[in-house]
Amino acid sequence: MHLRRRQIGLAVMVLGALLASVLPAGAVRKPHIVGLGAPKRVPYSKAGDPAGAATGENALKIRPLVVDGAVKEWTTGESHDVTDRSFVVRRGLRLNDALPDDKPLPGDKQSHWVWQRGPWLLVDRVTGHVTPLKLPHYDPGVSQVSWFRDYGAYCGVTASGKSLYAVVAQVAARKPLLAKKLDAFDPAAIAHADPVCGPPEWQREPLRVTFHPAGKDASSYDIVPGSAVLVEDSADEPETAAPAAKTN
């Protein structure tokens, strides 16, 4: 009997050690609550930020990105579900527009703060993790991203600022699926009322995207579909950072 008790005690100790190796001490699996709050309109500064600005636009509609009851970011525009747990949305930036010699107006310490459109964010509803997306050749003054699955299509500008490109990027992929030159790029063009490039249009079968650069004929490209490369972390583990196309 004494030996049997010792065997039971040893089994309990082994089971406890296994559980301790799987779950950290004191760890409680707690679901995160992630969502977008009610929209509101704020003064918008078009100067220095012509990204998608419509003629006569003087206000920007923003929504809070709320994680576990706290505002984590401010967003603008429509969100896009990439998977059943991840979505992308554009960040709304609040910038200090004051010059060194500017002084706040009497009773208004925020008179020189302005709202502008910012980069795109990838949001995981399960972990609550928010990751800025690094889209190749993305230019906030030119690029109007059109989303399909985990693909983002937009007109981009090269680092030299001299060429306008048709770009298809895939979330979490380092290289674009498509990068084709559309035209030479004139930086002065972004000061015009009309956008340099209209929003691209997607077609499912065959998988095709059409770009609409201003003043030129539309250009269409067939995309060779592939598996999603998005890696979604499990909720109870530490978070980690997350071929060709042909012309018609």
Residues in the chain where the model's pLDDT stays below 50? 2-3, 7-20, 22-23, 25-26, 236-244, 246-248
- What is the predicted pLDDT for the residue at 44? 80
The DSSP-derived string for 184-223 is E--GGGGGSSS-SEEEEEEETTTTEEEEEETTS--EEEEE
Beta strands in the chain (DSSP E): 34-36, 40-43, 59-67, 70-81, 86-96, 113-124, 130-132, 146-148, 151-157, 163-170, 178-184, 197-203, 208-213, 219-223, 245-247
Rounded Cα distance between 104 and 92, Å, is 23
What is the rounded radius of gyration, in angstroms, for the C-alpha atoms of the chain? 24
- What is the predicted pLDDT for the residue at 109? 58
For 6, the enclosing helix (H) or strand (E) is: helix 2-22
pTM (2 d.p.):
0.75
Please say whether the beta carbons of 213 and 200 come within 8 A: no
Nearest to 176 by CA among 138, 148, 204: 138
AA identity, residue 145: V
Q: Regarding beta strands 59-67 and 40-43, do their DSSP bridges make them parallel or antiparallel, or are they unpaired?
A: antiparallel
- What is the predicted pLDDT for the residue at 10? 44
* Rounded percentage of the chain residues whose pLDDT exceeds 90: 46
Backbone angles phi, psi at 27, to 5 degrees: -75, 135
- What is the predicted pLDDT for the residue at 189? 61
- What is the predicted pLDDT for the residue at 23? 47
- What is the predicted pLDDT for the residue at 123? 96
